[in-house]
Structure 1
């Protein structure tokens, strides 16, 4: 396994404090994401920032076994008691690493990493898992590029404790955006001021649904941006009397929210997209290079285990339905939005650098650092092993009968806890990427969620996650 990446030395603390004081910052929120995709945080007053930069702030080790309902499971042997403390340390590489939040005056935000009390790597730190895979990609001669499509449902609270949609209008229409114009204006401004680059925004297919596409970035920057985007959206929605839900299913009748994950590799030597292949240099009819074919094939081979990490919650399993573009079956296609893996190829209009693979079975209940880590590792393993993908499927295989899917080697991805847990624990790649300790804690959280849901109906399960994300 690639050794952990050493934490960079922070810039001068006095300079950081002076800069933030000039921006009116009173406190800094240090954020991390748990095994359920829930963003947790600690806020330190600005005068305590120098201490936090070097010593971190204390958090309980039990966060490693928090489940989706804020219960604590002690089923994982490594974290089987309420004893233990770790240090949450801000990840600060330069003066701009700490973001003064445009939508929350007086507060700034920074991602955190979890270390032992002695400052050593902690095996349950999810950000370090992604750092290792970024380093592994670099050793193989690649840089990783990633982007998330962020779907959300916008609502008004009602006097009886319920909620109703914040927008009407046809899907993807200008009228639908007009219903939430004030929010959209605030959101675009706040995301820009918070340093989050947006590719596009539109009213999505589902009721009251909006989508933000985050502009491509390196993997660690993208994971951090995904976390910051959530906080920015929630603050903007609150400012306009609305609530936002990123939950995989915000209602039992809705289309569901995905956080579709796009990834590609860049050849570090040339700076060019390594997935794109010129026919004269081994490229195929879909514009994929040998590296691109291996990357796609690796993802396809590891898809059951990968999606157990990228769409892990009880809500994820309920969302995974044929016909909803949620990646219900394990196959790939060229621009096929029903496929779990959608190839976005280069074209004369878009150019050669656009080639990427979209993972549909990904949502906000995934930890973004873990989701990116297992995706990268699966793709790199396919490149290393020289894999070749089968022919793409350009149809909706949900309309096929079972015999035809079986003959084509296409199987459904997990929709039950039992199958999902078998896929998770049966994946050697996932075990290697997460490590035995973190995998054990992650699996314990999934088992706790399943036990909570076992005697409850679908409505209760969906409602329990609606405002967790």
Structure 2
């Protein structure tokens, strides 16, 4: 479990002593530096690093950082809102001591996610990790509900020696093939070793569909820890890839016209240790609350795409009949619907039943994505929203009239359209708060304006190695 309390100037009780003990232990393991990681509004993991000897000081007083990073674009240009984007001000980064881990593939380094507070000791309203923690805490207090979540991580392996920013696959085997696994056997074995040493439980790692693509699935955790883990997993993949002369692309569209990289979210709601998605009297064992939660996610999906698929490259991936889930529809084990109901294996439903949300990629800030998905689901739960009829097969087969009758609608086909849906969604904007909601709008606008006039291949190239 992650720390669910806000940082305070001077440190929470026992934090400084604990940080000193951690620093001493890390030093005995040969660790000299600590990566302090956060994810900006554009979905880029930004870092500051400190000597391990400064960990106790960071836990007490934080590490300085400008608020301007909340309005960075993926290409490092800066946009602004009425609050964010100026050169003024300072924030303090506070490492979560529960999540400090020595990095197996980066000897001498440890890693920790951070929360950000103002110099006056208040929550920074633009901190996405703080936002997710608040959403989770409020759900527990208001509804007695806790969540488990996990992100799938897909990436394309390229040759690091390829000229410029081109993509040359690091493996030639077919999709899901033994050939691909054998060709990169040492690489994936080092990944498994690194994850084990870092305490990341891996469910599976395997070749995927697209050229040079792999996927890793990891165990579910509370939402804040799940978002942290997604960031750590990608940090590890990048480092191991470099050690093998490879390069990892997490971009939604590595190549235009090809199946891209997803970052599907698995999410389940629990009360008093019981999974609300199993053992109920509704469809496929869902409880009434689980159905309404799923209905809330479906209802807000058009606006959610501004958070879960936030890059111009995202819309190169969000194409029908490619298992990307581009229609407002749900189904049991239906991989073409935006929300896939997973019931789990017989005898394991009470542990495995969950919702998979498919129009999510790894350009998304995982804290924003999970927080907004939970806010959308809770809106459905609070209003006892009705889950519409199930859709089987590919929703793309429906004509316009039949699709409308079934309540099946195409998700936004551009980032500009997603932003307009987000502007109209009061539930999501209220959940985020005005500072963070305005940052989402400003950054998304900046992204689609930055690639205006580019064809699909040039858009894919612009974001190929960014995330």
TM-score range, shorter chain: over 0.9
Do residues 310 (structure 1) and 315 (structure 2) align? no
Q: Which residue of 1 aligns with 2:6?
A: 6
Partner of 1:405: 403
Question: 3-state DSSP class of the match of 1:54?
Answer: helix
Matches within 5 A, 1:128-147: 128-139=130-141, 140-147=143-150
Whole-Å Cα distance in 2 between the matches of residues 153 and 405 of structure 1? Answer: 34
1:273-320 deviations in Å (ceiling 9; x for gaps): 112134xxxx12421111111111111111112222111111112211
Distance 2:400 2:34 in 1: 54
For the residue of structure 2 that corresponds to 1:207, the secondary structure is coil
- Kindly state the Cα deviation for residue 176 of structure 1 after the two structures are TM-superposed: 1.4
Alignment equivalent of 1:424, drawn from 422, 425, 450: 422
- 1:413 Cα offset (Å): 0.5
**Correspondence for 2:44:** 38
**220, 241, 246: which is aligned to 1:242?**
246
Offset of residue 406 of structure 1: 1.9
Q: Tell me whether 131-140 or 46-55 shows the greater mean CA deviation.
A: 46-55
Aligned partner of 1:85 in structure 2 is 90
The equivalent position to 1:167 in structure 2, one of 161, 171, 177, is 171
Q: List runs of 5+ in structure 1 lacking aligned partners.
A: none
Secondary structure (helix, strand or coil) at the match of 1:163 reads coil
1:5 is displaced (CA, Å) by: 4.2
- Alignment partner of 1:230 out of 234, 240, 246: 234
Matched, 1:58 2:64: yes
- Aligned with 1:82: secondary structure? coil
Q: Deviations for 1:393-448, whole angstroms, at most 9, x for unmatched residues? A: 00201122222212222111111233111111111111111101111011100011
Provide the C-alpha distance between the structure 2 equivalents of 1:221 and 1:80, rounded to a whole number of angstroms: 28
> Taking structure 1 as the reference length, what is the TM-score of the superposition?
0.94
The match for 1:261 is: 265
Shift of 1:6: 2.8
State how far apart, in whole Å, the 1-side matches of 2:50 and 2:389 are. Answer: 53
Match of 1:463 in 2: 461
**2:190 pairs with 162, 180, 186, which one?**
186
What is the root-mean-square deviation of aligned Cα atoms in Å? 1.5
Relative to structure 1, the CA distance from residue 202 to residue 335 in structure 2 (aligned partners, 3 Å threshold; closer, same or farther) is same
Q: Distance in 2 between matches of 1:64 and 1:285?
A: 42
- SS of residue in 1 equivalent to 2:149: strand
Distance 1:389 1:403 in 2: 20
- Counterparts of 1:285 and 1:302, CA distance in 2: 21
Runs of 4+ in 1 over 4 A off after TM superposition: none
C-alpha distance in 1 between matches for 2:388 and 2:183? 45
Q: What residue is the counterpart of 1:112 in the other structure?
A: 114
Q: Deviations over 1:36-91 (max 9, x none)?
A: 111000010122222211111111111010011110012x1112422221111111
Match of 1:353 in 2: 351
**Worse-matched range after superposition: 83-92 or 241-250:** 83-92
Contact 1:5 1:128 survives alignment (8 Å): no
Whole-angstrom CA distance in 2 between matches of 1:386 and 1:404: 26
Partner residue in 2 for 1:100: 102
